[in-house]
Structure 1
Amino acid sequence: MGNGTTASRPQQGCTVEGHVLPKRLISSLDSSLERWLPEKRLFLRSDDATRFLRLRPATQLMGLLGGGLIFGWTVIASSILVIDAISSGSSDEQMSHTQAAFEERLEQLSAERDARAAEALAAQNRFTVALEQVSKMQSQLLASEEKRRELETGLKVVQSNLSEAITERNDVKEQLQVTDGDGMDDQARTEEFSVALDILSGELRNTADARSEAERLAEEASLKAEELRVERDQIIARNDEILNQLENAVTVSVEPLDEVFRSVGMDPDDVLSTIREGYSGQGGPLNPISYSTSGDATLSREETKAKQIIVTLDEMNTYRIAIEKLPLAMPVKSSFRYTSGFGRRWGRMHEGVDMAGPSGTPVYATGDGVVSFAGRQSGYGNLIKVTHELGTETRYAHLSRIRVKDGQRVSQGDLIGDMGNTGRSTGPHLHYEVHVNGRAVDPMSFIKAASNVF
């Protein structure tokens, strides 16, 4: 027993000393703070008694520190919300400016392409006219050459006949020198042959002059045709450069649009097929097609490239129509805070994102569609379901107020409800879901996809 008593005494001493030591520290801290935070008393009076609460310097210091922490947290949270709102607005403006600049650049390239195509067509027409003129001049030159050969042949025959006539004349002159009458006939024949020779010589000179003029005109036409060919080649080269720039521009523009649908789990080919089925109307009179007989391979190559650009532009337009049908907008435009993301939470699947804000914060439709449900549903509380095209559906849960009804058609940005705390909820927030073909997907993939494109 002596050993047990001895062992218990040190334990009691340590316990007393352990209680005394914090009291000494608190008393020392109070003494140090007494200068700046003097002790205060808060009196509580009743009908039959008076009590007071003693506020020591340490207690006042803890209260001040707690208030300062709460104030600092409030300032930091407000700053973050303001910065998010400002950055969201600036990013929207930047996306709008970027899209407008891109569309303006496409219009400029299209206009320049049309102008170059018109210049190429005009040059082709001038080249065709020049070729026709050259062909006519060559025909005239061949006709002149044929006429010249005929005249030369005729001249040779006339010269031969004239030579024979002169020989006969000399023979006759020698034989018939007796009579003067015969001498007069011979002189008349000689003059007749001389006149015929002068006429033939004049015709030969005229033919030679006509041939020289035709050769000169043909040479000028050839030079003009060469100049037109060079001009046409330059226009075609410039037009080809513009087509390449336009082709690169539209190709680069299609890639992010294609990535939008892949990022949200949709097949771009299926999306394009669905849109084209809904926009497939045709009509109008059919006129005969005029084909060029020039056989210019360069123009055919440019026509093929232009047709490919038209196909790509049609694909871009189809993507634009499809994007307009997707729920890509933000459901909350006021300041809010993300409190929970898409994925597993507490052992269960959380099929949406939570956006916390004050009760009554406006909630907007994120895309065009039809309200398929508007009412109360188990853990969702007040719930709105909107069915969109391309197999997509959005859900807005825990609302304090529903502003639409079943079967109502809504457009992107329409006010459909107010943020609340109904259903299984720990505070006012919006639970936002996106379903594609009946399967829940991460709504942030739609929001990020829209920001990457626009």
Structure 2
Amino acid sequence: MKLSEVAARIRSWFPEREFFMRSHGQVRFIRISPRLQMSLAGGFAAAVLLWLGLMTATLVAQFSSAQDHAALLQREAAVASSESRLNKYRGGLDGVADDLARRQDFIEKAIEGTIGELPKDLPQGTVSDSSAEAEKTVRKISMELPEARRLARIEARQLAFIERLTRYADARSAAAETAIRRVGLNPAMLRAASREGQGGPLIRLFTGRDETIDPRFARLGASLERMAAMQKGLARIPNTLPASLEYISSGFGYRSDPFSGGPAFHAGLDFRGPMGAPIYAAAAGTVSFVGVKQGYGNCVEVSHGNGLMTRYAHMSRTGARVGEKVDAGAEIGKIGSTGRSTGPHLHFEVRINDRPVNPRPFLEAASNVQQEARAGSAPAHRG
């Protein structure tokens, strides 16, 4: 089709249009020429194309960033070949010794900051085993540079330890994530929240003279970060009895109202106990409310992040301040009978995004799984 025919067809889409308007008994005619119509259509099409281009660029950038991060976490520990390591040894034993010293500093600081005392037995699995490649490297170095054999052995032992430590961190993370899912929370949300409020100067971490980081160390760093985030999130899940009480006097859900006798919904658990007995925070968090609420009497609320909040009601006395950071087991008040209450007891609620949920699964499951997560073993199945 010729260009003139294409132009003619396009012009046929935009014939001259005439509109009339009636106002106060007068009629006015408005004419819209083909040129104006084509200009408006072209401007609209350009705006749509620009918007689509920006959206595509944004999606590509997000996908690329996610792929880069996933590649680090999912790939098995990439192992430098024996030939490349041999070249480093040929470059001088002093440099190799410096590399090993810097690696050792990294290991010690990582363990001290995230784990503390390392257990004797570490689990297997989750990362690849580079011991065979490391032994091959030791043999090659020993044949060509006998004086470097000892350094090569040290490096092989160090790398084996790094892989075992990564398995340990992955196992603890998996156990913590299981505990978090068990009470209906999303581990990914807790991990994302752990990165909020962070900053500081960029100090790059290197484990080699050429300012590169061995991928096994990168994998270890990612595993330790994930473990620390999951442990922090787990500590903020209600897992501690809020009081040393006799028994639960009223459960969560529908019940007969103690005053009217009619059907009603009970948004928490009631624990009967003596007047003035201490009340404890069920998990670490920040005190978000202290005061009187209708029906609850004297009340304390603790925010644990990610929309999770615990409420403690009917207190005879409050013992916390708004904005105060509290640990699990910290005393925040005394048992009483204020508000809509028939006798001394603690009304305890767990709320997610201000929606009440049953506290019993938190108190029954989370504390047991916390112990399993600290031990670094997979939690047992609960029927």
Q: TM-score normalised to the size of structure 1?
A: 0.44
1:104 to 101, 105, 117: 117
- Within-5 A mapping of 1:241-256: 242=161, 245-256=164-175
Query: Residue type matched to 1:340 in 2?
Result: S
Taking a change above 3 Å as real, the CA distance of residues 234 and 410 of structure 1, as seen in their structure-2 partners, is: closer
Partner amino acid, structure 1, of 2:253? G
* Residue 418 (structure 1) aligns with: 334
Distance 1:383 1:107, change over 3 A: same
The offset of 1:270, in angstroms, is 1.4
Could you tell me which residue of structure 1 aligns to residue 247 of structure 2?
Answer: 337
SS of corresponding position for 1:395: strand
1:338 Cα deviation from its structure 2 partner: 1.4
Q: Which residue of 2 aligns with 1:323?
A: 234
Is 1:450 aligned with 2:373?
A: no
CA 1:243–1:416 in 2, change beyond 3 Å: closer, same or farther? Answer: closer
Distance in 2 (alpha carbons) for counterparts of 1:353 and 1:240 = 51
Partner residue in 2 for 1:308: 219
- Give how far 1:275 is off: 0.5
- What is the CA deviation profile of residues 327-346 of structure 1, one whole-angstrom value per residue up to 9, with x for unaligned ones? 433211x3421122222223
Aligned partner letter, 1:446: F
**2:234 corresponds to which letter in structure 1?**
I
Instruction: Tell me, yes or no, if the aligned pair for 2:138 and 2:152 is still in contact at 8 Å.
Output: no
Displacement of 1:353 in angstroms is 1.1
Aligned to 1:441: 357
CA distance in 2, matches of 1:284, 1:240: 23
SS at match of 2:317: strand
Q: In the alignment, which of 174, 178, 184 is matched to residue 265 of structure 1?
A: 184
Amino acid at match of 1:366: A
Q: Is the 8 A contact 1:127 1:228 kept in 2?
A: no
Cα deviation digits, residues 334-378 of structure 1 (max 9, x gap): 342112222222343322111111111111223344433333323
Out of 112, 119, 144, the position equivalent to 1:131 is 144
User: Structure 1 residue 408: deviation in Å?
Assistant: 4.7
Which consecutive unaligned segments of at least 5 residues does structure 2 have?
Answer: 1-114, 124-129, 257-262, 372-383
The CA deviation at 1:127 is 5.8
Distance in 2 (CA, whole Å) between partners of 1:362 and 1:409 is: 18
Q: Would you say the 8 A contact 1:402–1:417 is kept in 2?
A: yes
The verdict on how the C-alpha distance between 1:270 and 1:129 changes in structure 2, with shifts beyond 3 A counting, is same
Following superposition, the deviation at residue 108 of structure 1 comes to: 8.0
Secondary structure of the residue that 2:240 maps to in structure 1?
Answer: coil
Higher percent of residues as strand: 2
Q: CA offset at residue 310 of structure 1?
A: 3.0
Q: 1:103-125 deviations in whole A, cap 9, x for unaligned?
A: 63448869xxxxxx9xx99x969
Equivalent residue letter for 2:320: V
What is the identity, as a one-letter code, of the residue corresponding to 1:309?
Answer: L
Q: How does 1:285-434 map to 2 (within 5 A)?
A: 290-291=209-210, 303-332=214-243, 334-346=244-256, 347-434=263-350
RMSD of Structure 2 on Structure 1 (CA): 4.2
- The normalised TM-score by structure 2 is 0.51
| SS, match of residue 313 in structure 1 | helix
Query: Residues 289 and 253 from structure 1, CA distance in 2 versus in 1: closer, same or farther, beyond 3 angstroms?
Result: closer
Q: Distance in 1 between matches of 2:118 and 2:162?
A: 13
Write out aligned runs for 1:190-269 (5 A): 236=156, 242=161, 245-269=164-188
Give the structure 1 partner of residue 379 of structure 2.
none
**Larger RCO, structures 1/2 (Cα 8 Å, 6+ apart):** 2
Please list every run of 5 or more consecutive structure 1 residues that lacks an aligned counterpart in the other structure: 1-101, 111-116, 133-223, 293-299
> For the structure 1 residues 104 and 129, does the alpha-carbon distance in structure 2 shift closer, same or farther, using more than 3 Å as the test?
closer
Q: How many pairs align?
A: 241
Q: Percent identity?
A: 32
1:108/1:278 Cα in 2 relative to 1: closer, same or farther (>3 Å)?
farther
Matches of 1:317 and 1:381 in 2, distance apart? 38
Please report how far the alpha carbon of residue 379 of structure 1 lies from its aligned counterpart in structure 2 after TM superposition: 1.9
Counterparts of residues 9-28 of structure 1 (less than 5 Å): none
Of 192, 195, 213, 1:276 maps to 195
Of 377-386 and 366-375, more deviation after overlay is shown by 366-375
1:70 aligned partner: none
Give the number of the structure whose residues are more often helix, by fraction. 1
Q: Distance in 2 between matches of 1:371 and 1:288?
A: 42
